Structures are given as C-alpha cells and as structure tokens.
Amino acid sequence: MHARTRLVPLLCAALTLLGCDEEPVALTACQEAAQQTPSLQLSSGEEAFELVAEGGYLPAYFGMQGGAHAYVGVRVTGVHPGNALDPLTAPVIQFDAWDGDEHVGTGYSHTQLHESDGAFELYGAMMYVDTGFARSSSDDPPPHETVDVVVSVEDTCGTVIEEKLAVYLGNRWPEAL
C-alpha cells in the first residue's frame, strides 16, 4: 500500500471528527427575516413605491362611486414577504388614519410583498378616507393640517412592525406647510 493511500482514510477520519462532512443547515424564511433590522416606510404610490416621510403629503382622491381614498403601500425589512405559491403566507398590512381620537381612514392588504433592493414593497393598496379629506375644489381650505397614519405589518412568523407618521392627507399640498 502506498503512503498516499494510507493517508486518505486518516484524513477522512480526521475531517469527520472535526464535523466537516456535515452540510450547512438552511435557514427558514422566518429565521432569514429575523436576521434583518426591522424597518417600515409609508408609500403613496399607486403604481410604484413613493416615499411619504413624517410631515409629508398623502394625496386623497374621490372615487367614481362617491367615496374617497388614498393610495398607500409600504417598504419593509425584517418580515417574511410571503410565498407566491401559497397566498396564506402573505403578511397582513393594516393602514389607519386618525384625526385626534377620530378614525378617519382605514385600509387592509393581505398580499405577497415584492422584493426591491433588499427590502420588500407593496404599493397601490387603498386606504378609504373620510370624504372631507378629498375636497372637490382646490380652493376649499384643508380641514386639518395633519393626521396620524398608523401602519402595521404582521407576517406569518408572528413578527409585527408598526409605524406612526403625522402626514398631510388631502387633495392638494397646502401652501402653509
């Protein structure tokens, strides 16, 4: 037997003792999401993500059936985005607008999020708002300067991320702001 032939079994035994023959354990989608820093941003985009920052503008529109709505969405990290093959894995996203203690808007989405630059996005969801925020004339004074929009995202792993922003909700940007 050659010296090289005798070294192979010894080398294999040594590697086995060191644990090198074990395959790495794959992380679950929940474990992968938990490794990210949780973050949440609000969007006003109907067809793309359009960031709405604290004190920003969230346009409100009259719908064809007499109601009013704002297009909303999120950009989020640290949650499981859902699996396209299983709609039940999609996160639940809740949008609520508050004028003090008065609930003036609500929206809900249970849709898989789309990946974008290491984050996950949803846009084009509707938050139904009190019709006073979607005035028919730009000459009408805004009823309020800002409302609090509370956004909550809960994934199937049990992770909940919530953000509260004071934003101007209306059909035009007020000159005073």
pLDDT digits (tens, 9 = 90+) for 53-102: 999 988 888 878 878 899 999 999 999 998 878 888 999 999 999 999 99
Query: Domains of the chain, with CATH numbers?
Result: 38-170 (2.60.40.2550)
Q: Which residues contact 87 (CB under 8 A, 6 or more apart)?
A: 110, 112
DSSP label at 47?
S
CA–chain centroid gap for 38, Å, is 10
Cα(121)–Cα(94) distance, integer angstroms: 14
Strands 92-99 and 61-62: unpaired
User: Tokens 């989405």 — which residue?
Assistant: 109
Residue with the bigger pLDDT between 16 and 37: it is: 37
The neighbour count for residue 155, using CB atoms within 10 Å, is 24
pLDDT at 176: 44
pLDDT at 14: 54
Confidence (pTM): 0.78
For residue 135 the two structure tokens come to: 């005035």
Of all residues in the chain, the percent with pLDDT exceeding 90 is 49
- How large is the average pLDDT for residues 153-174? 87
pLDDT at 141: 58
pLDDT at 22: 62
- How large is the average pLDDT for residues 116-124? 91
Cα(168)–Cα(152) distance, integer angstroms: 19
Q: At residue 96, what is the residue type?
A: D
Of all residues in the chain, the percent with pLDDT exceeding 70 is 76
Q: Which pLDDT band, with edges at 50, 70 and 90, does 106 fall under? A: very high
* pLDDT reading at 174 higher than 70: no
Beta strands in 100-159 (DSSP E): 102-109, 114-116, 119-129, 147-154
